[in-house]
Structures are given as structure tokens and as C-alpha cells.
Amino acid sequence: MLRPETQFILNGETVRTRAAQGMLVLDYLRDRAGLKGTKEGCREGDCGACTVLVGSADGDSTHYLPMTSCLMPLGELHGRHLVSIEGLNLDGLNPAQQAIVDAGATQCGFCTPGIVVSLTGLLLQPETGSPEQATAKALSGHLCRCTGYRSLKAAGVAMQESVGDRTGIDSLVAAGVLPDTFSGITPRLKAIPPRADPNGQPAAGLVLAGGTDLYIQQGAAVEQSPLDLLGQRPELHGITRAADHIRLGAMTTFEQFAGHPAIAGLVPDIEAIMEQIASWQIRSRATIGGNIVNASPIADLTIMLLALDAQLELASGSDRRSLPLRKFYRGYKELDLAPGEILNAIRIPLPEAGTRFHFEKVSKRWNLDIASVNSALAITVVDGRIEALRLALGGVAPVPLFLADTCRLLTGKLLSVATVREALEAVQAEIAPISDIRGSADYKRLLARQQTMLHFAVLFPETVPVEEFYAAN
């Protein structure tokens, strides 16, 4: 059978290809397009050597994000602008390259193309935070084994200072920061005909959302299988706010989730939390739906959504049903999901006024690491009494765990140190961690205790002072 055509712009050139939809963008670049500047390191999303920029038309402009080409299927490029390191070349060095040279921030150079791509990606975002914070975000998905990060950080800051005001792509092209291939990209992308709309059809083939779990787990099989690319289903995209809930299309990426004002209203420190989740490149691909359906017991977004009482919208063709997220998991990687059924969207009910939310994650490394234990608490306290409480923990059971017994026990009680002590005991009775590479069972029990205590101590420092718990030890 003839494979679907994928049409996109590679640097400045329009490409039409019938290569396999699941072929890695990395392999396409290096083996088909002969562009070897994009490096292959880990092939697992960890090192950042393969980073490219991917531009998507959005209204009258094109929005670019860095992505790891080693976890991205070629088919996802349809209608998009793929920029490899070669596509950033100017007659002289570009500002990211110049800053790296000036700071002495390269030695063997293997990591350098990916870092130049991510740093240039920074210049294509609206400015938020300090140059140091922005640089930390850009470097979060990169490993450099020779140079060390101090000079790379200095290069990132110097690059932003050298470019100054960033008021859009055309001004960056005019200022000689980007090559002129970036001009006029949006109408070219819009002229690419969309694929046939698969909305409303049951899943056929291997279901791929961002691919950041699937490629790691099934590698070559994904590259050769027929794929159902959920990115091509418009109804799975977008965040909307209704009177009593927020609806996240299942294809909502971590970056979109964190950047949406409706989410900031529920999880005020979401930007800070995200610094500890994956990397900028992975967050630009990883979806909320994939996080839930992958069913990892330590999935960070799933733990947050359990505490936020999320409800799932599941669909098979025109059949729809809804299910509380907490009932979705039946055992380790066992789901209440029928063959062909897709997670369409996630609804987060708007909580009562005054509800507070807190998330904790302990991992061996700050960036790009999986939790040993993570947890989230949403709590409503009225006149000193706990009216509603939802606690979820990851890494302590075969599934992302909603602690129903602990929540029941605490609801209606006065918020006090004594009540939190009861919670700490109840949590221990409800969890069953195992020893693995992320820590011993005992260590995870300790983390579960400390994180539960911290939720209360951070949210209610006057009623539940943290010192009370250290004094007791």
C-alpha cells in the first residue's frame, strides 16, 4: 500500500516524501537528507545532541520549539518547518555560535550543534524570566561531557544580551540573527494541504502521541509499524475553560499545560515545578494523554491530575464515555481502555475557592530524571476544618496511586499537627513500594512520609509548622 505523503519545509526547501511515517526525524536528516550536523548520542531523549527546531504555523506567525529528533516520527512533520543546525547558518557565526566561541564553551564539539539550536530557540520565544533562567531552560536537555556548564551558561546569557530586544522573526532576520529562509515561512506552511481528518475514527495502528515513551519502549517496531499519529487529530488539541471545568485535549503538551493561564490558576507554581520535569525538548513533545495512558507509576503529570480529580473522556469512533482518572488503573500497566479506544481529553473540575495545591518530587538528578517518589495534594480548608482533600503518590505502588483511605480519614477533621500525624500513618498503611534502581522500599516509605508532611507544612506553615515533625524524630 502507498504510504501517506509527508510534506514539510526542511530549512528552506519544501520536501515531499513517502518514507515511513515512523522513521525518526534524526535518521531522515542524517541518512536521507545527508545533513550530518544533527548528532546522534543516546537516541533516548537524554543528551540533546539531536535537537532540532520545529515550527508550527499559528495564525499569522510560526511558533518554534526545540525537540529531540531521536524521538520524533517523520510523519509528525507534515505541515511544519524543520530547522536543523545547517538551517541556522549565516555567512559568519550566528549569535549562539559566537557566544560559545567567546566563552570557550566547546571542546570536542559533539554536543555543540544541539546546544546552538536550543539557544537559538530561546531567541524565538517571548522573553520571560531572566537571561539566566532562560539559559537554564535551554540547557536543561543537554549533556556536555567535556566543557562543563559554567561556560555554556555564560554563553547563553551573553547571546541574549548581544541580541537585545526580540520582537519577532522578521526583526531577527533583519538584524542578521536568523537566515532569511525564516521569512515567509508561515504562508508556505499554510499552503501545505492538511491530511485527511481521522477524527472520530477508532485507533488503527500503533497509537503515537508525542512518542517520548513509545520510541524508548518499542524502538524499531514503532519505526516499521503503521501508526495512528494522534497529532493529526485536531479534536485532541487545545485547552479550554468552561464554567465548571478546564478541558485539556489529550495532545496537550507539558509546555502548553505549564504555559496556560487557566492552569496557573490551579497550580500557581507550575513553572517552577516544570523545571524538574523532563527537559525543554521533551516537554515540547510529551503529552498529558501519553503520560496518563503510559501508566508509569511515577508519571509526574498523572500524579498532579489525580490530586486535581481529573476525569477522562474516552472515545472509540462515535462511542464516548467518561471515567475518573483514579479508576483508570487496574494494575501494573493494566488500564480500563478497550482496544481501539483513545483518550480524547481530560477534564479538571474547577475546585472550590480557597483550594490549595502542592507538588513534590524527589529524584537523583534535578533535570531530566524520573522520580523516586512524587506526590501532590489538593486541599480545601474552611474555618480550620478539612472540607476536601485529594492526595496522590507515585513510586509507591504498581500504579499512580490515589490515596482514597487517607483522604476519607482526614476529610472533616480539624487541620492540626495531630491530624497530619494521623495522615502520615495512614499513608504508610496504604502504600506498598518496592526496592528498585530509584531507591529501596524503606527509602521510598521515608520519602512518602516527608513529602506528605511537606505538603501540609508548605501550604499551612502556621498551623502545621515543619519543625513539629523534625522535633518528633
Ligand X SMILES: Cc1cc2nc3c(=O)[nH]c(=O)nc-3n(C[C@H](O)[C@H](O)[C@H](O)COP(=O)(O)OP(=O)(O)OC[C@H]3O[C@@H](n4cnc5c(N)ncnc54)[C@H](O)[C@@H]3O)c2cc1C
Site for ligand FES in 66-85 (CB under 6 A): 68, 70
- Select from 90, 216, 262, 266 the one that contacts ligand X (CB under 6 A): 216
Per rule CB under 6 A, is residue 300 in the interface with ligand X?
yes
- Residue 114: CB minimum distance to ligand FES, A: 8
Per rule CB under 6 A, is residue 211 in the interface with ligand FES?
no
Of 101, 104, 107, 166, the C-alpha closest to 131 is 166
Of 319, 394, 388, the C-alpha closest to 356 is 388
303 binds, among ligand FES, ligand X, none (CB under 5 to 8 A by kind): none
Distance in angstroms (rounded) separating the CA atoms of residues 330 and 316: 20
- Select from 45, 75, 297, 395 the one that contacts ligand FES (CB under 6 A): 45
342 binds, among ligand FES, ligand X, none (CB under 5 to 8 A by kind): ligand X
- Residue 233: CB minimum distance to ligand X, A: 9
DSSP E strand boundaries for 18-87: 51-58, 61-68, 80-83
Per rule CB under 6 A, is residue 149 in the interface with ligand FES?
no
Per rule CB under 6 A, is residue 213 in the interface with ligand X?
yes
- Select from 3, 5, 18, 109 the one that contacts ligand FES (CB under 6 A): 109
Per rule CB under 6 A, is residue 140 in the interface with ligand FES?
no
17 binds, among ligand X, ligand FES, none (CB under 5 to 8 A by kind): none
Site for ligand X in 240-259 (CB under 6 A): 250
Of 42 and 174, the one with the shorter C-beta distance to ligand FES is 42
Of 29 and 57, the one with the shorter C-beta distance to ligand FES is 29
- Residue 341: CB minimum distance to ligand FES, A: 31
Unique residue bearing C-alpha cell 566563552: 103
Per rule CB under 6 A, is residue 143 in the interface with ligand X?
no
291 binds, among ligand X, ligand FES, none (CB under 5 to 8 A by kind): ligand X
What the block records as the C-alpha cell of 413 is 477533621
Q: Which span sits near ligand X by CB under 6 A: 87-95, 206-214, 257-265, 397-405?
A: 206-214
Residues 6+ apart with CB under 8 A from 450: none
Per rule CB under 6 A, is residue 231 in the interface with ligand FES?
no
Query: Which residues pair with residue 7 across a beta bridge?
Result: 16
- Select from 6, 21, 94, 106 the one that contacts ligand FES (CB under 6 A): 106
- Select from 37, 55, 211, 297 the one that contacts ligand X (CB under 6 A): 211
- Select from 123, 230, 426, 447 the one that contacts ligand X (CB under 6 A): 230
- Select from 57, 154, 207, 305 the one that contacts ligand X (CB under 6 A): 207
- Residue 52: CB minimum distance to ligand X, A: 16
Of 155 and 250, the one with the shorter C-beta distance to ligand X is 250
Unique residue bearing C-alpha cell 529524584: 363
Give the torsion sign (CA, 447, 452, 453, 457): positive
Q: Which span sits near ligand FES by CB under 6 A: 72-80, 142-150, 268-276, 410-418?
A: 142-150
Exposed e or buried b per residue across 333-364, where buried means at least 16 C-beta atoms within 10 angstroms of its C-beta: eebebeeebbbbbbbbebbeeebbbbbbbbbe
Cα–Cα distance list, 291 to 133, 251, 296, 398 (Å): 26, 10, 8, 15
106 binds, among ligand FES, ligand X, none (CB under 5 to 8 A by kind): ligand FES
Distance in angstroms (rounded) separating the CA atoms of residues 358 and 363: 17
- Residue 181: CB minimum distance to ligand X, A: 29
Per rule CB under 6 A, is residue 293 in the interface with ligand X?
yes
Contacts 24+ apart (CB under 8 A), 133-138: 134/160, 135/160, 136/275, 137/275, 137/280, 138/66, 138/280
Size of the site for ligand FES (CB under 6 A): 23
Distance in angstroms (rounded) separating the CA atoms of residues 411 and 387: 6
- Are 179 and 173 in contact by the 8 Å Cβ rule? The answer is yes
Q: Which span sits near ligand X by CB under 6 A: 97-105, 205-213, 317-325, 465-473?
A: 205-213
- Are 324 and 313 in contact by the 8 Å Cβ rule? The answer is no
Of 67 and 152, the one with the shorter C-beta distance to ligand X is 67
Distance in angstroms (rounded) separating the CA atoms of residues 388 and 368: 33
Per rule CB under 6 A, is residue 270 in the interface with ligand FES?
no
What the block records as the C-alpha cell of 352 is 472550590
DSSP E strand boundaries for 130-203: none
What the block records as the C-alpha cell of 364 is 537523583
Site for ligand X in 19-48 (CB under 6 A): 44-46
- Are 338 and 316 in contact by the 8 Å Cβ rule? The answer is yes
Give the torsion sign (CA, 166, 169, 170, 174): positive
Say if residue 272 is exposed, middle or buried (CB neighbours under 10 Å; 0-12, 13-18, 19+): exposed
3-class SS at 159? Answer: helix
What the block records as the C-alpha cell of 158 is 551573553
144 binds, among ligand FES, ligand X, none (CB under 5 to 8 A by kind): ligand FES
Residues making contact with ligand X (CB under 6 A): 44-46, 207-214, 216, 230, 250, 277-278, 282, 285-287, 289-291, 293-294, 299-301, 342-343, 368, 370
Residues making contact with ligand FES (CB under 6 A): 40-43, 45-50, 68, 70, 106-112, 144-147
